């Protein structure tokens, strides 16, 4: 009999496997669009439910039938725009050209950053004067956790890019959004696809079997059962970084593509009578996504328009019932 061969155990798709630097991620890559629009949003993961959907997808085996799908509810209080930041290209990548902050910062922002006289009009005039040098325009936004079921006061502050091919139009759009709020309906429509970027649950220190999925040794193994069979070849005389070994697992930044937006509505529609377990009540708007989302409850989840969408980019599914 020939020797049985199979692919190596454990994925090397992400390396090194170590903790992310921040509990909520940042968006670094965006899809290209023609007209100015906000290219991201954020919300707090509340929990999961089941939804009874009417399947209208052509070619589906359950076409015309009711199907049960797991769904994730994202609590989405409005995002407050607190600043506009302009970038220019340099030999070292994007470099901040100028930024303009709102005159009156929200009270909770003082917990996160220093509040003072930012000379908003002067900064905006300077950016408009040097609009030819601008390559990217981004909004500085702050979450509003007081309006969500998360029991915290300090808001998360992050950047969201303005999409579009005309820099002047992008700057005018960002200028009009200053000191306003962005809602879930301003960002996406029901039936469209979004990408989810989040930080996964932390698992602590784990062995190579759980961390990489290697095979458990047979009982005839001389040493350990839940251990890698070989640490490598004799030459070079060192252990390579590709060898699956025990170490930190979880709390990693991960991106999941093409999550269908099933519904955008008010929190009273989806909140169970006793509230979501370990979360509470969804007080504002929510986004219901088909399938699961990485990360634990109460963790901020970043959303962006699908960068590699499926062939069926838009499909509005009819929700017959939401099982709480």
Res. 207: pLDDT tops 90: yes
For the segment 262-271, what is each residue's pLDDT rounded down to a tens digit? 999 988 889 9
pLDDT for res 132: 93
Is 40 in contact with 29 (CB distance < 8 Å)? Answer: no
> Which of 26, 27, 33, 66 lies closest to 50 in space, CA to CA?
66
For the segment 47-76, what is each residue's pLDDT rounded down to a tens digit? 999 999 999 989 899 999 999 999 999 999
Is 99 in contact with 83 (CB distance < 8 Å)? Answer: yes
Q: At what angle do helices 167-177 and 120-129 cross, to 10 degrees?
A: 170
Average pLDDT value for the chain: 91
For the segment 147-159, the average pLDDT, to the nearest whole number, is 92
The mean-pLDDT minimum among 5-14, 168-177, 183-192, 236-245 falls in 5-14
Quickly tell me which residue has 């980019």 as its tokens.
313
Res. 10: pLDDT tops 80: no
For the segment 167-194, the average pLDDT, to the nearest whole number, is 95
User: Would you state the structure tokens that stand for residue 235, as one six-digit string?
Assistant: 């030459």
Q: What percent of the chain has pLDDT over 90?
A: 73
Res. 97: pLDDT tops 70: yes
Domains and CATH numbers, the chain: 7-76+188-201+251-324 (2.40.30.10), 78-182 (3.30.1430.10)
Is the model's pTM score more than 0.85?
yes
Q: What is the Cα–Cα distance from 159 to 155, expressed in whole angstroms? A: 13
pLDDT for res 11: 67
Res. 215: pLDDT tops 90: no
Secondary structure E strands in 55-135 = 66-75, 79-90, 93-101
């Amino acid at each position: 009999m020939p020797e049985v061969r199979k692919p190596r155990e454990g994925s090397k798709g992400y390396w090194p496997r170590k903790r992310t630097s921040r509990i909520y991620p940042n968006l670094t890559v965006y899809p290209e669009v023609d007209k100015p629009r906000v290219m991201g949003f954020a919300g707090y993961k509340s929990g999961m439910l089941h939804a009874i959907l009417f399947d209208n997808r052509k070619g589906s085996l359950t076409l015309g039938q009711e199907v049960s799908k797991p769904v994730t509810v994202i609590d989405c209080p409005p995002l407050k725009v607190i600043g506009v930041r302009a970038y220019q290209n340099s030999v070292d990548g994007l470099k901040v050209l100028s930024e303009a902050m709102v005159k009156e910062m929200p009270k909770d922002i003082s917990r996160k950053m220093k509040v003072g006289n930012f000379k908003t009009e002067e900064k905006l005039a300077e950016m408009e004067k040097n609009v030819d040098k601008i390559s990217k325009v981004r909004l500085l936004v702050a979450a509003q956790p007081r309006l969500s079921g998360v029991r915290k006061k300090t808001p998360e502050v992050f950047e969201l890019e303005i999409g579009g091919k005309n820099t002047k139009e992008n700057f005018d759009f960002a200028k009009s959004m200053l000191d306003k709020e962005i809602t879930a309906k301003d960002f996406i429509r029901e039936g469209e696809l979004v990408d989810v970027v989040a930080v996964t649950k932390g698992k602590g220190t784990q062995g190579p079997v759980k961390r990489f999925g290697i095979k458990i040794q047979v009982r005839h193994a001389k040493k350990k059962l839940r251990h890698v069979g070989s640490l490598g070849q004799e030459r070079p005389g060192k252990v390579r970084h590709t060898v699956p070994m025990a170490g930190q697992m979880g709390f990693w930044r991960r991106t999941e593509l093409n999550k269908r937006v099933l519904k955008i509505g008010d929190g009273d529609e989806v909140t169970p009578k006793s509230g979501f377990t370990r979360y509470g009540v969804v007080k504002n708007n929510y986004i219901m996504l088909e399938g699961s989302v990485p990360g634990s409850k109460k963790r901020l989840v970043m959303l962006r328009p699908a960068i590699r969408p499926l062939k069926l980019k838009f499909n509005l599914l009819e929700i017959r019932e939401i099982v709480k």
